[in-house]
Amino acid sequence: MGEFDLIRRCCTRARPSRADVLLGIGDDCALLAPPAGRQLAVSLDLLVSGVHFLADVDPWRLGWKALAVNLSDLAAAGAEPAWVTLGLTLPAADESWLAAFMDGFFALADRYAVQLVGGDTTRGPLAIAVQVHGFVEPGQALIRGGARPGDLLCVSGVPGEAAVGLALRLGRLELPAALAAPCIDRLECPEPRVALGRALRGLASAALDVSDGLAQDLGHLLDASGVGATLDVDALPRSASLQALGAAALELALAGGDDYELLFTIPPDRRDELTACAAAAGVALTVIGRIEAAADLRLRHADGRPCSLARSGYDHFA
């Protein structure tokens, strides 16, 4: 099968058909109609075989994840997803692999009414580039730089589960199937927190998505806001899978990476609103610390003892 057949095969499945897509796949450019009075939020992410995913990963799950990690960036901005472009570098024109990949990609795209509007396909070492485009009301976008001393530090879901999934996949860890499966799902089919991001507009003072490890990504939020924080490690959410790992769970929760949860801050007098947010978004929210004027991140136990961490996060070039 040639390049153009491959591309055509992807194109024919470019659902949904949005009214704001004037010209979709197949011309030199896609032509899009941004809604009046909204800002455009865009994010480009790369996924490279052996770096961001294991070469033998199920292609359906890879297609899902390639879009999910990008939608997670829109979620962190509080934006409503709209359009996506896809750049696929494939070692060979493998029709069944591509069909499964696109099935997973479209399964998630359909859920958020995101339309594939363009892209590129080429031969080379397996890699994926995805750019998402979303809309957000002026002044309502969530950014990293708005945290203020006194704000509560909150996180969605259970950071660390994806890292457990990776350790399981690499054979570095064993868990009973009932504890292993949810962690592998978190690794391979993360749920972008789009509804949470929308619910946090007007509430969160700062937000980002956790992709390289909670402690490291928190550092970016603190740097952007010009503040510090104390994080209560005993307040971190623990699923049954993490509890089964005992003390090792802490490092995975703080430095594991691949979580795609939202880390955000809210003013202390609005803590009560978290419950409604969690219900609207369908995900647990946990207060794990407090923003402070003094720079840097301090890790403490509930009783006040300091806690140290060997690894701080994932560096693609380290």
> In terms of Cα–Cα distance, which of 115, 120, 85 is closest to 15?
115
The reply on whether position 1 binds a second copy by CB under 8 A is yes
Pick from 54, 89, 107, 298 the residue near a second copy by CB under 8 A.
Answer: 89
Name every residue whose Cβ is closer than 8 Å to that of residue 167 and which is 6 or more positions away in sequence. Answer: 173, 252
Nearer to a second copy among residue 143 and residue 235 (C-beta): 143
The binding site comprises 28, 43, 45, 52, 73, 119-120, 144, 209, 211-212, 258, 314
Cβ nearer to a second copy, comparing 232 with 258: 258
Which of 9, 11, 18, 49: binder of a second copy (CB under 8 A)?
49
| Segment interacting with a second copy (CB under 8 A) among 122-130, 155-163, 174-182, 268-276 | 122-130
Residue type, 240: A
Given the DSSP bridges, would you call strands 228-232 and 261-266 parallel, antiparallel or unpaired?
A: unpaired
Residue-wise DSSP of 159-205: TTHHHHHHHHHTTS----HHHHHHHHHHHHS----HHHHHHTTTT-S
Decide if residue 19 touches a second copy (CB under 8 A).
no
Give CA separation, 261 vs 102, 214, 307, in Å. 24, 9, 23
CB 299 to a second copy: min, Å: 20
Min CB(304)–a second copy separation in Å: 31
**What is the Cα–Cα distance from 54 to 174, expressed in whole angstroms?**
18
Distance of CA 229 to the CA centre of its chain: 22
Which residues in this chain contact a second copy in the complex, by CB under 8 A? Answer: 1-4, 6, 22-23, 26-34, 36, 39-46, 48-52, 73-74, 76-77, 79, 83, 85-87, 89-90, 92-93, 117-125, 127, 129, 131, 133-134, 136, 141, 143-145, 207-209, 224, 315-318
